[in-house]
Amino acid sequence: MKIGFLASHYGSNMQAVITACKTDQLHATPCVVISNNSKSEALARAAREGIPSCHLSTTTHPSAEQLDQAIRQTLVAHQAELVLLAGYMRKLGPQTLAQYKGRIINIHPALLPKFGGAGMYGAHVHEAVLAAGETETGVTIHLVDEEYDHGAILAQSRVPVYQDDTVTLLAQRVLAREHSFLVETLQQIVAGTLCLPEHTRKA
Ligand code: GRF
């Protein structure tokens, strides 16, 4: 299965998947990395790994429609079969969503539907979890639709919150779980034991 990535910043989840592919833990091939941030570590990782990459943003394509078209065409040109949002900070446009309906997944550092939606990214998520006095949080992998953190949930993993937790400690614990859980979930998708709704449709 060819996986196309969209990532805005550090790309550590993307790296976990790339490493799993390279070490044969995951039978998939990273085919392209797209970032809206030309200076992102995600693009640097793609270069180091020899994976084709592309900066596509409102800078390269001021028109939302043309940006959407460029993202769709780039994924199709690299024959992506599954699209993984790995810390991608933008909504996808209707052309890309339609082309890859049921085959775009996102990873979120909390147990959705709690602590998701606009503004719930990075440290904000973990701050809100601690402020709410939660005793557990986790990782959610879900399908992507028009809304932030909104599509059907595919898999979740729980992570404990400790009494003396700080945002930094909690973020580290959740991120570590994200890396392993994302690979585990993709293994299930590739093996067909976790079915995507329109998994058989080709781009
Ligand atoms: C992760 O916490 C992910 O759940 C969220 O954005 C963060 C990306 O981290 N969507 P990284 O860029 O993969 O290190």
DSSP 51-89: --EEE-STTT--SHHHHHHHHHHHHHHTT-SEEEESS--
**Ligand 1 centre distance from Cα of residue 178 (Å):** 8
What's residue 4's pLDDT? Answer: 98
Between helix 167-191 and helix 12-22 the angle, nearest 10°, is 40
**Ligand 1 centre distance from Cα of residue 174 (Å):** 10
Say which DSSP state 152 is in: -
Q: What is the pLDDT along the chain (203 residues), one digit of tens a residue?
A: 999 999 999 999 999 999 999 999 999 999 999 999 999 999 999 999 999 999 999 999 999 999 999 999 999 999 999 999 999 999 999 999 999 999 999 999 999 999 999 999 999 999 999 999 999 999 999 999 999 899 999 999 999 999 999 999 999 999 999 999 999 999 999 999 999 986 544 54
15 near 96, Cβ under 8 Å?
no
For ligand 1, pick from 12, 33, 178 the residue to mutate: most ligand atoms within 8 Å of CB: 178
* Closest C-alpha to 109, from 175, 166, 14, 154: 175
The residue nearest atom 5 of ligand 1, judged by CA position, is 87
Please give the number of the atom of ligand 1 that sits closest to the Cα of 108.
4
**Ligand 1 centre distance from Cα of residue 37 (Å):** 14
**Ligand 1 centre distance from Cα of residue 87 (Å):** 4
* Closest C-alpha to 108, from 174, 162, 59, 55: 174
DSSP per residue, 80-125: -SEEEESS--SPPPHHHHHHTTT-EEEEESS-TTTT-STT--THHH
For ligand 1, pick from 13, 18, 111 the residue to mutate: most ligand atoms within 8 Å of CB: 13
Structure tokens at 8: 């805005």
Instruction: Please list the active-site residues.
Output: 108
The residue nearest atom 10 of ligand 1, judged by CA position, is 87
Structure tokens at 123: 């440290």
d(CA 94, CA 50): 30
Close Cβ partners of 115 (under 8 Å, ≥ 6 residues apart): 125, 128, 129, 132, 137
Ligand 1 first shell, C-beta below 6 A: 7, 9-14, 86-87, 107-109, 175, 178
Peptide linkage before 113 cis (omega within 30 of 0): yes
What's residue 197's pLDDT? Answer: 83
pTM of the model as a whole: 0.95
The residue nearest atom 1 of ligand 1, judged by CA position, is 87
The residue nearest atom 6 of ligand 1, judged by CA position, is 87
